[in-house]
Structure 1
Amino acid sequence: MITDDGCELWTSATGRGEPILCCHGGPGLWDMFGTLDPGPGFRLIRWDQRGAGRSEPRGPYTLERMVADVDAVREGHGLDRVPVLGHSWGAHLGLLYALAHPERVSALVYVSGVGLGYDWHAEFKRNFEQALGERHSRWAELRAKSRDEAEERELAVLQWTADFVADGAHHAEAMATPWFPINYEANAALSEEMRTVPEQELVEACRSLRVPTLIMDGTADNRPRWAVDSLEPALPSVTRVRLPGVGHVPWLEAPDAFRGALTDFLVRHLDMS
């Protein structure tokens, strides 16, 4: 599909039933929801954000433009109002979209997001190093050098391994297949812009958001869960589901528990008669 500024975005619809518009993590990565099974009665709308994966490698890489791209995907699939599911950075993008266009979002599913502030990075770094253990030295070696494509993929797989409690290498390999170049320009630009938005400003905006929201995360996520504490009480209609002993990508590590929580929330909050 083509956005209003002429950028070509890859998008896909799978399944039959109530649509769910997915926003993948990153920034600068691509859709990794291919193995997400929401159960019968749901249809996944997936897409690669601009500059990454199968979408056109071009900017601009701004929060405003990314929110507009979410709306373009919604409109491109002929949807009036739709549940939006975001993971990690995509959870933040989904929240920003709901704040900008609440009338177009029937429900928000905020998966493994990191809240509204940015003071969690130091603890995350410690958790990450501990999770990698002896593999951290190889990760640091790759991180510090110029890398070819094979080394770039090796670095990503090592890094993503730390996002899981069990079978991390297996799950990380699945995330890296198929493999696309990481867009570090998009990652840097969007990460920096996110840091410029004051936490209190987002808290105040969330107080008036009437969209039913599910915050779902694993208790063993190496991104500290207390970072979400400012978001949860700011939302007027919020459900919090914590998955015990699960890391950052719960639909891979605990697919049944993830699917159960997701479908229960959506059935309760959507008119699916």
Structure 2
Amino acid sequence: MWREIAPSDRIEVVVDGFKVVAYSFGEGIETVFCLNGGPGLPCDYLREAHSCLIDKGYRVVAFDQLGTGASDRPSDPALWTIERYVEETEAVREALDLGRVHLLGHSWGGWLAIDYALAYPENIRTLILEDTVADMPHLASELERLRAALGPETVAMMQKHEAQGSYDHPEYLGAVTILNYRHVCRLPEWPAPVKRSLDDWNMGPYATMQGPNEFLYIGNLKDWNRVPDLHRITTPVLITVGEHDELTPACALRMKLALPSPELHVIPNASHMPFYENPAVYYPILLDFLERHGAK
């Protein structure tokens, strides 16, 4: 189960002239390399949820992506592309001499993990896709379905503010807050690592790549779709998704049907953060997969 653990090592990596900070836990011969969501979030929430894997003999590595946490925070929007983050991920893997990794991507980190796996298949032992998608246009249609549950008047109100660009209006923010508690984290009190990441959110990368909030995708990734390429990923793949996830089980199924031999698990009583919302179900699934596909 998750708990706050101090990293064994904090490593600064220079990537294209910028400082990127990585965190390493444990000394296992196999590494779980974590790519957190956002974009624009520090890695705290995903790092703290998975550092406990050291108890099972794994090394766990995470890093603050450029623009987040302790890493440099340039303001050039041209930097906020998935292609650049793929190369940053490879630079961190090389600098820390991680070898072949169990690549774990959550949310936006899953999109990044998919593109990394397509670019550098020789560097991954397994691919773990958590609460993520491979087809943004399909996700947009699923988000419309989730929004529709708020009722036609609320949807009309949201569309009005989106057309006007008034994303900070109290009534619009109120609707987004309801959706967050339904589909991002259903716990009445959000865990400290989640709050810490959210409190330090850099909206520059987020707005450029995704949009103004979790339920409106209008950034440079809005047309991203890797479903036609998923057949090229031949390493073992684990897909997990919360039953109430904003990145819905239907999105997870779309990935499963396009991959050669994936495993898909829907986590009950959870939304976008199953490792916090239902750890008793989440961790055994992850550990079983790692044990079956590891080098041990």
TM-score in same-fold range (> 0.5)? yes
Deviation at 1:104, TM superposition (A): 0.3
Give, in whole Å, the separation in 1 of the partners of 2:206 and 2:64.
Answer: 14
Is 1:89 matched up with 2:89? no
Question: For each residue in 1:203-223, what CA deviation from the matched residue of structure 2 results, as whole angstroms up to 9, or x when unmatched?
Answer: 232112112110011112133
Contact 2:107-2:132 at 8 Å conserved across structures: yes
Q: Which residue does the alignment assign to 2:68?
A: 52
From 272, 282, 289, the equivalent of 1:258 is 282
Is 1:3 matched up with 2:14? yes
From 48, 52, 59, the equivalent of 1:43 is 59
Q: What 5-or-longer segments of structure 2 have no aligned partner? A: 1-11, 151-156, 211-218
Give, in whole Å, the separation in 1 of the partners of 2:146 and 2:179.
Answer: 12
* 2:221 partner SS: helix
User: How many residues are matched?
Assistant: 255
Give, in whole Å, the separation in 2 of the partners of 1:128 and 1:175.
Answer: 23
Letter aligned with residue 53 of structure 1: G
Cα distance change on mapping 1:98 and 1:252 into 2, 3 Å? same
Contact 1:107-1:269 at 8 Å conserved across structures: yes
Give, in whole Å, the separation in 1 of the partners of 2:197 and 2:294.
Answer: 33
Question: For each residue in 1:23-80, what CA deviation from the matched residue of structure 2 results, as whole angstroms up to 9, or x when unmatched?
Answer: 0001111111213333411121011111012211025111111001111121121111
Contact 1:219-1:242 at 8 Å conserved across structures: yes
Contact 2:245-2:271 at 8 Å conserved across structures: yes
TM-score (norm. length: structure 1):
0.82
Deviation at 1:269, TM superposition (A): 1.1
Is 1:124 matched up with 2:143? yes
Is 1:66 matched up with 2:70? no
From 27, 33, 41, the equivalent of 1:16 is 27
* 1:252 partner SS: helix
* 2:13 partner SS: coil
Question: For each residue in 1:67-106, what CA deviation from the matched residue of structure 2 results, as whole angstroms up to 9, or x when unmatched?
Answer: 0111112112111111110111111111111111000011
Give, in whole Å, the separation in 2 of the partners of 1:223 and 1:20.
Answer: 23
Give, in whole Å, the separation in 2 of the partners of 1:254 and 1:84.
Answer: 22
Letter aligned with residue 132 of structure 2: G
Cα distance change on mapping 1:99 and 1:77 into 2, 3 Å? same
Letter aligned with residue 161 of structure 1: Y
Q: Which residue does the alignment assign to 1:211?
A: 235
Give, in whole Å, the separation in 2 of the partners of 1:175 and 1:165.
Answer: 10
User: Please, which moves more after superposition, 263-272 or 221-230?
Assistant: 221-230
Q: Which residue does the alignment assign to 1:193?
A: 220
Aligned-pair identity in percent equals 27
Give, in whole Å, the separation in 2 of the partners of 1:40 and 1:268.
Answer: 13
Contact 1:116-1:228 at 8 Å conserved across structures: no
Q: Which residue does the alignment assign to 1:149?
A: none
* CA RMSD in angstroms, aligned pairs only: 3.0
* 1:3 partner SS: strand
Q: Which residue does the alignment assign to 1:75?
A: 94
